[in-house]
A and B are shown apart, each in its own frame.
Chain A
Amino acid sequence: MERDETVFLLGEDIGVYGGAFRVTEGLIERFGEDRVLDTPISETAIVGAAVGAAIAGLRPIAEMQFADFISCAFDMITNFAAKSRYRTGCPVPLVVRGPAGGGVHGGPFHSQNPEAYFAHTPGLKIVQPATAYDAKGLLKAAIRDDDPVLYFEHKYLYRRVQEVLPQEDFVVPIGRALVRRVGRDLSILTYGAMVWTALDAARTLETEGIDAEVVDLRTLFPLDEETILNSVGKTNRAIVLHEATRTGGIGAEVAAVLSERCFESLDAPVVRVTAPDTPVPFSPALEEAFLPNAAKVCRAARALVGY
């Protein structure tokens, strides 16, 4: 916002209150209420107005208080923003961001991972950071991108990941995955908070003599197919891990890419470790059963290696 005065924020409770998760804390004091706009509870108006402002040359960042509520703005994202450049040649440099994911007992409407709904919409880009470095770098890349970018933040990571970041300006390019851990026996392809779950699992597997590679997808649409193929081409086994539910998820797309493009390299079926096809339950006991965890990843890894 310091660098580019066309960047502004709008959303519910983001100004005076600083955002439900304090993501925008202090910004209204620094940039004023014109650039940190508190809005009515009105996701269609928030994203719709952001689309209009983007068409008119600004770079808005619209906050969904919880990513779950992005469904209220579905039309604006999928039909207005995503199709504008193709239909009319008019780019929509818009970022829609918000906290996604479970693990904090938020129940069915404050825990969802809605990325797959949008990965079926050409014209959008979707990113989800796992580290503080990527959170900053991907957000900057999203803001500077001329197309609409959905930026999902896993709320479980807000207070759990700490890093000292470089002072200078940097971006993490959209469309590039990153190998977080190098391994030779199998690849765990994942994103968001599940990157940490995968790294946990890899440490356990290492004690059993299984050397797992962890690939952080970072951008979910478009997928970085080259990094995925390079990894699985080397390890010959793949687990796709995500917290979102199973059917029609990003994992299904990754599995399809592997089947289409490196079938000959596979020594075992591609396996998905995901949440089951149910809404996110509320009670901790149920939510724990719902969420993928390191033990579930290890079980799948052992089966794959023994295939």
Chain B
Amino acid sequence: MAELSPEKRLDLYRLLRLNRSLEERLVLLYRQGRIVGGLYRSLGQEATSVGSAAALEKGDVLGPLIRNLGSVLVMGYTAREVLTQHLGRAASPSGGREGNLHFGRPERGVVSSISMLGALVPVMAGVALAARLRGRSTVAMTYIGDGGTSTGPFHEGLNFAAVQKLPLVVVAENNGWAYSTPFRKQTAARNLADRAVAYGMPAETVDGNDVLAVYAAARAAVERARRGEGPTLLEARTYRMKGHAEHDGQAYVPREELEEWAQRDPIERYAAALLASKEVTPEELAAIDRRIAEELDADVAFAEKCPFPEPGDLSGEVAPPGLDLEPAFLRRLS
């Protein structure tokens, strides 16, 4: 990884740790009953998110899914934004209209996903199309899970992107499970990367728990896209170490598989590699961890103090007629 500077290598570690530590705070809040709705973890998958998004340049556009906390942290999302969003507060990026990671930041190049899986693939193809029509060198990147590759929009989006040779990178996160459905019940294909053959599109399978390997593969795909050579499907092999959401104890997952993948924890692996290369000391890594923990203390305290939205904030920036729940005659009577 000659092209990654020591600073950037260390920053990847910081992002991986922030991804995990922030989620651990969210788990505590969830157990206290403070999180509005579900909590979707990316435990064990952090390297896929961080490594892929880190391959983008300023001006590129990212379409993250629910388990891509690491990706949006790379794009500049703050812990406070993520926390207030999960707590449904007025100060959250969506003003309480949306939960979890469902918030976009167009000015930072992030398009918000919807819950209908696969939808982001054609939409991000459209972002790439717009970039080309405007003569920009923007690359669009989005994600899909192993389950999401069964949806129609995934296939329509890939086909469209391939026909149009759009600058799009689709990272297929193969974490083995779609809620409780295992990979073998999702598809008869052996690899998600094989799906790209049908669209005349290059694909690669990479170790999703190796942040540098993900980065290198994503970087190559991004550069191909920027050269005008079209889209790439990048399959990242990883494992979902927690249930679909926090409420799900994933009793259906074989314990031995979890134990096996725990040995391949992406953060421990990366930390060991950094230490082995002697470019960083254990004390330096511990200092990063400590700084993240201190900042998160302040961020959680901030988010918990933020007020909830007012009922009057219900309508507003939505196309007219908005949400007029009160018939006119009731207003006249009151």
Contact = CB atoms under 8 A, between A and B. Distances in A.
A209 interface: no
Contacts of B238: none
Nearest to B126: A52
A282 interface: no
A55 B127 contact: yes
A35 B102 CA distance: 31
A86 B97 contact: yes
Contacts of B128: 52
A56 B116 contact: no
B122 A44 contact: yes
Contact of A56 (B112, B115, B119, B127): B127
Interface stretch (B273-281, B303-311, B321-329): B321-329
A122 B318 contact: yes
A55 B98 contact: no
B106 interface: yes
Given A80-B119, A87-B94, A122-B322, A260 B327 contact: yes
Contacts of A255: none
B319 A52 contact: no
Contacts of B202: none
Contacts of B103: 87-88
A55 B321 contact: no
A55 B106 contact: yes
A40 B164 CA distance: 10
Residue among B112, B134, B153, B156 facing the most chain A CB atoms (10 A cut-off): B156
A208 to B, nearest CB: 35
Nearest to B103: A88
A52 B104 contact: no
A300 B239 CA distance: 66
Contact of B319 (A51, A53, A55, A123): A123
Contact of B329 (A89, A123, A221, A260): A260
B286 interface: no
A8 B133 contact: yes
B329 A56 contact: no
Interface in A50-96: 50-58, 60, 75-76, 79-80, 82-90
Interface in A89-148: 89-90, 122-125, 147-148
Interface of A: 8, 34-35, 37, 39-40, 42, 44-58, 60, 75-76, 79-80, 82-90, 122-125, 147-148, 175, 221-222, 260-261
Closest 4 CB pairs of A and B: A52-B126, A48-B122, A49-B126, A56-B130
24 contacts: A39-B160, A40-B163, A42-B160, A44-B122, A45-B153, A45-B156, A48-B157, A52-B124, A52-B127, A52-B130, A54-B126, A56-B131, A57-B130, A58-B130, A76-B122, A79-B119, A88-B98, A88-B104, A90-B104, A90-B111, A122-B321, A123-B318, A260-B327, A261-B327
